């Protein structure tokens, strides 16, 4: 494992938001409208509503290349971007693409009139997952291979701001890391950092 | 689709049974061939269906977004995976769970698959299966490998084949059962999976087992073939057997199963089922799919004639040692508890008491109970599946069963562990009370994901669940015990005929607009294996169904006589009176009120335009078409072997592809042609070469000679050139076989 380079694909980025599950109900028509108006670059297909499930995927905007959702896994609400189709480029390219897509969606949801400001990214906590256990099993070797990628990515994303990284410890769960900054950084600033 | 798909075979090497691994390899090749247009879309559709890879709503590339119909422009363009089914469109993977029996490792694998390939949710169906939605077809071989590595096959989960074999989830621990039916269901699953006699049905075939006649758990009355445990004393010895039924089924017009035999000895159930299968395959309808289920054949022939035919067929069956071996092997099955039984500790905890009242069932083994884990709408998250696996490991020997009510049951829970078990389930959102009660609503996927859905069964179920849960502790006991089941259309996957309050999706016009409705079906019976079907009363707009439930439950409480059941109450009241109570709800809304024009959970203006052609019926593909597809695949593998420098293997595989092509045609004349190459070539020569049916207008019998020559040299080895030439010849031979088949006008044969 350690001798093989890590291929980072199917990146998931979750931006933890302040708010409660009540926002999920008005989100359903918003996602349906996004399918009508196509404000995102992916091919958007359908809306899956899992509000009935406790600590579940919430409401999911199903796309061909990626899903967007307001996810409530582990009881933590967040805007989640789930890349489904593989991408060319480097690992850094793929991490940036997913982060950019999540932040872009988050900005749109924060500005969505029908949600009345009920979604607000706290600006401090972001989770990254690699949604492919064959490529990235949750083992120490993956962590060792991913660490340099993570450092380079975080330097870019946070623009040098301090952060902590906490890896997922349960080996049965997907390989992932939760990043926390000391100070809140708004989505617009993070997007600008990625673009710089 | 996953970047890692090319790794799955290598990563799971050694973990997959060889035969199963080979099947999945073949399927993966078929996926690749279809992608390059080398397999007909209809053949591929049935091929994938027989491996559980189903279509899903909007997969024809169109979807109404509420304002207009959008064309979905997928990267693979017009490539299809079946008629009107776009390649890139998300599909559903059904996972067969015989008898609902699962290990903790299997739960964890399904959890992983739900996260990585689906949308984080696993759905339990009304036939104890799992379904994963929004799956890309190119991911399915990897999914199948990961399932195979933990002992699960998706083979024949869909298509015109033997579907999952369901069984009472309490088998082995139920106080009322005659005996444990688990081994017999498992034995039948192993016997019928891939059996040649079940490959040529006009429609699907669903078996079920029940340990008793009085409860609902096996639902044998609604199945194509149903077995209820029975014993008989012969020569002072108690013998096990089954009361056997055939020809039950729901659908638009439900049929009660007919008694085939009052007692089929346990060692006879496999040959009897084989005989039934042969009769069904031979005489069942194949062109008209709406009359192709076995229930129509039994109805048309009459049960007496059908019984005679089965008895005659049974006599002609060549002896198969597996009839008894599989049963004896399965009878060794034995479940044991992890912890000693005992007595429950007293607990005053209010929530625990409520849960205990509805979700526990005492086992026949003293000191143990079965605990039911209720799943809203049959859905469970990946994390919950892993948590459930942990709980099951902690308190049992690591097994759990899914139920036809879309729940799980944990068996062999020591009474001493009860309060801890509840605490652990509650902590992960799996401790809801109300199992088998009015809040425990059963529903098919409906318009959420099903191509046939007319109304939103899941949307309605979610709304009813929410409203009823708010009031669940206020209900009178008779109301609390009612069953609600919802189907998105008349096909009855939600089993709406066999419950107190059933609903199925229909559409009606109101003021010139299509409005989603549900037909109200009342007074069906869940008990006695789904013993009585309900009566349709009237169609009511979807948005008013909650009011229907309120009114009917209030009427039931208010005018119930002498403890009568809802079925008895509905029968006594009569359709006219029942309808009169609800008629005002069926009237159009006031002018300008558009509240009825959308469905529950879906804000789009309702349209029927999103319905597609269902795949439940599968594609009627002849054995010849399958053999020709097999020949194509062999040829493809020969080319790969050649490219890799394995010349001898390439030559032998190319020869095999020609044999398969010849066998495909011979099957039209002799369906039982054995796999002996000499016999295939001889029959091919007799029926197709000598008669000049396999005759090219320009080349005459040239292509047939390719086969004859290859057959003569079959025992030799192949050089690079020899294998290359043979591959070219094999391609020409298979093309000629297709051409011959088409000329014979056998595109669809019965």
The tokens for B705 are 């000679």
Of the partner residues A43, A57, A173, the one whose CB lies closest to the CB of residue B119: A57
Chain A residues near residue B462 by CB distance under 8 angstroms: 49, 51-52
B457-471 vs B545-559: helix crossing angle, rounded to 10: 50
pLDDT at A4 over 80: no
Say what the pTM is.
0.89
Cα distance between residue B224 and residue B258, in whole Å: 10
Chain A residues near residue B75 by CB distance under 8 angstroms: 64
Which of A2-11, B137-146, B612-621, B727-736 is predicted with the least confidence, judged by mean pLDDT? B612-621
Q: Where are the alpha helices (DSSP H) in B591-689?
A: 623-643, 647-669, 677-684
A vs B, Cβ pairs < 8 A, gives 125
Q: What is the share, in percent, of chain B residues with pLDDT greater than 90?
A: 76
Chain A residues near residue B109 by CB distance under 8 angstroms: none
Instruction: Looking at the structure, tell me whether residues B649 and B524 fall in a common domain.
Output: no
Cα distance between residue B217 and residue B583, in whole Å: 34
Cα distance between residue B623 and residue B199, in whole Å: 8
pLDDT in tens, B420-442: 999 999 999 999 999 999 999 99
CB–CB contact B383 A55 (8 Å): yes
Is residue B168 assigned to a domain? Answer: no
Would you call A53 an interface residue with chain B, using a CB distance cutoff of 8 Å? yes
**Looking at the 3D structure of chain A, how many domains does it have?**
1
Mean pLDDT on B444-455: 92
Chain B residues near residue A11 by CB distance under 8 angstroms: none
Would you call A195 an interface residue with chain B, using a CB distance cutoff of 8 Å? no
Mean pLDDT on B295-308: 96
pLDDT tier at B745, thresholds 50, 70, 90: low
Is residue B573 assigned to a domain? Answer: yes
pLDDT value for A163 = 97
Instruction: Looking at the structure, tell me whether residues B178 and B326 fall in a common domain.
Output: yes
Chain A residues near residue B376 by CB distance under 8 angstroms: 52-53
| Torsion, CA A81, CA A84, CA A90, CA A94, rounded to 10 | -10
pLDDT tier at B722, thresholds 50, 70, 90: confident
B18-35 vs B623-643: helix crossing angle, rounded to 10: 90
Domain holding B669: CATH number?
A: 1.20.120.330
Which of B34-43, B297-306, B604-613 is predicted with the least confidence, judged by mean pLDDT? B604-613
Is residue B686 assigned to a domain? Answer: yes
Q: Complex ipTM, two decimals?
A: 0.97
CB–CB contact A56 B386 (8 Å): no
Would you call A78 an interface residue with chain B, using a CB distance cutoff of 8 Å? no
Instruction: Looking at the structure, tell me whether residues B543 and B665 fall in a common domain.
Output: no
Instruction: Give the residue among B128, B264, B250, B124 at the shortest CA–CA distance from B189.
Output: B128
Instruction: Looking at the structure, tell me whether residues B586 and B649 fall in a common domain.
Output: no
pLDDT at B698 over 70: no
Is residue A67 assigned to a domain? Answer: yes
CA distances for B593 relative to B66, B590, B596, angstroms: 17, 6, 8
Whether residue B395 contacts residue B339, with contact meaning beta carbons closer than 8 Å, is answered with yes
Instruction: Looking at the structure, tell me whether residues B319 and B355 fall in a common domain.
Output: no
Is residue A131 assigned to a domain? Answer: yes
Is residue B122 assigned to a domain? Answer: no
CB–CB contact B381 A67 (8 Å): no
CB–CB contact A48 B119 (8 Å): yes
Of the partner residues A52, A62, A73, the one whose CB lies closest to the CB of residue B377: A52
pLDDT tier at B619, thresholds 50, 70, 90: low
Chain B residues near residue A32 by CB distance under 8 angstroms: 65-66, 602-604
Chain A residues near residue B116 by CB distance under 8 angstroms: 10, 131-133, 174
Cα distance between residue B410 and residue B402, in whole Å: 9
Strands B121-124 and B207-210, by their bridges, are unpaired
The tokens for B64 are 């109404």
Mean pLDDT on A26-32: 97
Instruction: Give the residue among B131, B200, B207 at the shortest CA–CA distance from B161.
Output: B200
**Looking at the 3D structure of chain B, how many domains does it have?**
5
Q: Is residue B217 classed as helix, strand or coil in its secondary structure?
A: coil
Residues 6+ positions from B4 with CB-CB distance below 8 Å: A9, A132, A134, A135, B142
Cα distance between residue B132 and residue B557, in whole Å: 40
CB–CB contact A10 B2 (8 Å): yes
- Determine the residue among A46, A85, A131, A142 to mutate to test chain B binding: the one whose Cβ has the most chain B Cβ atoms within 10 Å: A46
Would you call A120 an interface residue with chain B, using a CB distance cutoff of 8 Å? no
pLDDT tier at B750, thresholds 50, 70, 90: very low
Instruction: Looking at the structure, tell me whether residues B453 and B543 fall in a common domain.
Output: yes
Would you call A50 an interface residue with chain B, using a CB distance cutoff of 8 Å? yes
Residues 6+ positions from B716 with CB-CB distance below 8 Å: none
pLDDT tier at B208, thresholds 50, 70, 90: very high
Q: Which residue of B has its CA nearest to A80?
A: B119
pLDDT at B617 over 70: no
Would you call A165 an interface residue with chain B, using a CB distance cutoff of 8 Å? no
Chain B: give the shortest CA distance to residue A124, in Å: 24
CB–CB contact A135 B7 (8 Å): yes
Chain B: give the shortest CA distance to residue A9, in Å: 7
Q: What is the share, in percent, of chain A residues with pLDDT greater than 70?
A: 98
CB–CB contact A32 B72 (8 Å): no
Chain B residues near residue A47 by CB distance under 8 angstroms: 602
Domain interval for residue A161 = 11-195
Chain A: give the shortest CA distance to residue B267, in Å: 43
Q: Which residue of A has its CA nearest to B117?
A: A84
- Determine the residue among A48, A78, A94 to mutate to test chain B binding: the one whose Cβ has the most chain B Cβ atoms within 10 Å: A48
CB–CB contact B11 A134 (8 Å): yes
CB–CB contact B116 A133 (8 Å): yes
CA distances for B435 relative to B91, B286, B304, B402, angstroms: 30, 40, 40, 13
pLDDT in tens, B364-377: 999 999 999 999 99
Give the count of beta carbons closer than 10 Å to the beta carbon of residue A156.
18
pLDDT at B748 over 80: no
Is residue B10 assigned to a domain? Answer: yes
Mean pLDDT on B257-263: 97
Chain A: give the shortest CA distance to residue B569, in Å: 32
Residue with tokens 């749109």: A108
Is residue A3 assigned to a domain? Answer: no
Between the two ends of chain B, the Cα-to-Cα distance in Å is 37
Instruction: Looking at the structure, tell me whether residues B452 and B564 fall in a common domain.
Output: yes
Domain holding B324: CATH number?
A: 3.30.413.10
pLDDT value for B618 = 65
Cα distance between residue B138 and residue B145, in whole Å: 13
Instruction: Looking at the structure, tell me whether residues B590 and B667 fall in a common domain.
Output: no
pLDDT value for B642 = 87
Give the count of beta carbons closer than 10 Å to the beta carbon of residue B150.
17
Domain interval for residue B476 = 442-597
pLDDT value for B135 = 98
Strand-pairing partners, residue A189, are: none
Would you call A132 an interface residue with chain B, using a CB distance cutoff of 8 Å? yes
Instruction: Looking at the structure, tell me whether residues B564 and B674 fall in a common domain.
Output: no
Residues 6+ positions from B138 with CB-CB distance below 8 Å: B1, B5, B31, B35
pLDDT value for B746 = 38
Mean pLDDT on B549-565: 94
Mean pLDDT on B84-89: 96
pLDDT at A1 over 50: no
Chain B residues near residue A56 by CB distance under 8 angstroms: 120-121, 379, 381, 384
Provide the strand spans (E) within B253-378.
258-265, 360-362, 368-373
Strand order in the sheet with B207-210: B166-167, B207-210, B225-234, B237-246, B258-265
Instruction: Looking at the structure, tell me whether residues B365 and B325 fall in a common domain.
Output: no
Instruction: Looking at the structure, tell me whether residues B546 and B587 fall in a common domain.
Output: yes
Chain B residues near residue A139 by CB distance under 8 angstroms: none
pLDDT in tens, B166-191: 999 999 999 999 999 999 999 999 99
Sign for the pseudo-dihedral over CA of B285, B291, B295, B298: negative
Cα distance between residue A95 and residue A116, in whole Å: 30
Q: Is residue B275 classed as helix, strand or coil in its secondary structure?
A: helix
Is residue A174 assigned to a domain? Answer: yes
Instruction: Looking at the structure, tell me whether residues B399 and B489 fall in a common domain.
Output: no
Whether residue B9 contacts residue B29, with contact meaning beta carbons closer than 8 Å, is answered with no
């Amino acid at each position: 494992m350690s001798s093989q380079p890590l291929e980072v694909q199917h990146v998931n980025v979750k931006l933890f938001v302040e708010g409660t599950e009540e926002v999920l109900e008005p989100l359903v028509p918003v996602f349906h409208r996004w399918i009508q108006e196509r404000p995102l670059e992916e091919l958007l297909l359908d809306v899956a509503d899992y509000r009935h499930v406790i600590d579940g995927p919430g409401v999911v905007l199903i796309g061909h290349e990626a899903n967007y959702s307001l996810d409530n896994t582990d009881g933590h609400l967040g805007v989640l971007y789930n890349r489904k189709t593989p991408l060319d480029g480097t690992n850094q390219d793929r991490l940036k693409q997913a982060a950019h897509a999540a932040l872009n969606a988050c900005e749109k949801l924060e500005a969505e009139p029908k949600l009345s400001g009920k979604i607000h990214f706290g600006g401090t906590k972001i989770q990254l997952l690699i949604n492919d256990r064959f490529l990235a099993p949750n083992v120490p070797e993956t962590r060792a291979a991913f660490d340099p990628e993570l450092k380079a990515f975080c330097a870019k994303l946070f623009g040098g701001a301090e952060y902590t990284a906490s890896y997922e410890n349960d080996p049965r769960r997907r390989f992932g890391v939760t990043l926390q900054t000391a100070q809140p950084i708004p989505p617009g600033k993070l997007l600008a950092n990625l673009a710089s | 689709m996953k970047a890692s798909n090319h790794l799955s075979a290598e990563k799971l090497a050694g973990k997959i049974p060889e035969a199963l691994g080979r099947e999945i390899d073949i399927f993966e090749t078929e996926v690749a061939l279809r992608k390059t247009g080398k397999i007909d879309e209809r053949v591929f559709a049935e091929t994938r269906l027989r491996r559980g890879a189903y279509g899903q709503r909007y997969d024809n590339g169109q979807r109404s977004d509420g304002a207009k119909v959008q064309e979905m422009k997928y990267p693979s363009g017009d490539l299809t995976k079946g008629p009107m089914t776009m390649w890139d469109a998300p599909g559903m993977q059904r996972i067969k769970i015989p008898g609902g029996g699962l290990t903790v490792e299997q739960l964890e694998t399904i959890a992983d698959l739900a996260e990585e390939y689906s949308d984080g949710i696993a759905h339990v169906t009304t036939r104890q299966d799992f379904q994963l939605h929004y799956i890309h077809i190119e991911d399915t071989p990897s999914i199948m490998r990961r399932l195979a590595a933990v002992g699960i096959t998706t083979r024949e989960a869909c298509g015109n084949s033997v579907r999952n074999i369901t069984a009472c989830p309490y088998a082995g621990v139920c106080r009322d059962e005659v005996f444990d039916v688990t081994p017999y269901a498992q034995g039948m699953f192993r016997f019928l999976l891939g059996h040649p006699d079940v490959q040529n049905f006009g429609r699907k075939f669903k078996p079920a087992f029940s340990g008793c006649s009085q409860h609902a758990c096996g639902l044998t009355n609604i199945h194509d073939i149903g077995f209820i445990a029975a014993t008989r004393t012969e020569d002072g010895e108690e013998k096990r057997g089954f009361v056997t039924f055939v020809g039950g089924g729901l659908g638009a017009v439900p049929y009660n199963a007919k008694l085939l035999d009052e007692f089929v000895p346990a060692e006879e159930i496999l040959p009897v089922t084989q005989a039934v299968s042969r009769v069904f395959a031979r005489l069942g309808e194949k062109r008209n799919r709406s009359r192709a289920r076995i229930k129509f054949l039994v109805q048309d022939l009459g049960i007496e004639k059908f019984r005679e035919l089965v008895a005659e067929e049974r006599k002609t069956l060549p002896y198969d040692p597996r009839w008894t071996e599989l049963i004896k092997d399965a009878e060794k099955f034995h479940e044991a508890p992890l912890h000693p039984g005992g007595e429950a500790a007293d607990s005053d905890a209010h929530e625990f008491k409520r849960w205990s009242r509805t979700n526990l069932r005492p086992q026949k083994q003293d000191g143990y109970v079965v605990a039911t884990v209720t799943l809203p709408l049959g859905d469970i998250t990946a994390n919950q599946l892993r948590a459930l696996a942990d709980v099951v490991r902690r308190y049992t020997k690591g097994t759990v069963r899914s139920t036809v009510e879309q729940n799980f049951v944990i068996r062999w829970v020591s009474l001493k562990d009860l309060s801890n078990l509840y605490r652990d389930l509650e902590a992960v959102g799996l401790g809801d009370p109300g199992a088998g009660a009015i809040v425990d609503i059963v529903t098919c996927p409906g318009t959420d994901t099903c191509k046939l859905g007319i109304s939103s069964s899941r949307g309605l179920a979610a709304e009813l669940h929410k409203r009823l849960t708010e009031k669940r502790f206020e209900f009178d006991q008779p109301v609390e015990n009612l069953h609600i089941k919802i189907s998105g259309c008349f096909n009855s996957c939600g089993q709406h005929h066999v419950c107190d309050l059933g609903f199925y999706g229909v559409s009606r016009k109101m003021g010139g607009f299509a409005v989603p409705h549900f037909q109200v079906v009342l007074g069906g019976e869940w008990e006695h294996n789904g013993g009585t079907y309900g009566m349709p009363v009237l169609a009511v707009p979807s948005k008013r169904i909650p009011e229907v439930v309120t009114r009917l439950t209030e009427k039931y409480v208010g005018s119930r006589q002498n403890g009568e059941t809802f079925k008895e109450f509905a029968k006594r009241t009569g359709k006219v009176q029942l309808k009169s109570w609800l008629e005002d709800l069926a009237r159009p809304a006031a002018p300008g009120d558009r509240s009825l024009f959308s469905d529950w959970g879906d804000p789009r203006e309702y349209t029927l335009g999103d319905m597609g052609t269902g795949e439940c019926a599968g594609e009627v593909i002849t054995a010849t078409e399958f053999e020709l597809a097999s020949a194509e695949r062999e040829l493809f593998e020969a080319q790969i072997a050649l490219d890799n420098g394995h010349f001898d293997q390439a030559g032998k595989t190319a020869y095999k592809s020609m044999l398969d092509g010849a066998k495909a045609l011979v099957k039209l004349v002799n369906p039982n042609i054995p796999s002996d190459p000499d016999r295939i070539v001889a029959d091919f020569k007799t029926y197709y070469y000598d008669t000049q049916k396999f005759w090219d207008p320009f080349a005459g019998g040239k292509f047939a000679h390719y086969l004859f020559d290859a057959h003569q040299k079959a025992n030799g080895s192949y050089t690079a050139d020899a294998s290359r030439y043979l591959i070219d010849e094999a391609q020409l031979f298979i093309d000629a076989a297709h051409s011959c088949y088409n000329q014979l006008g056998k595109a669809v044969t019965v």
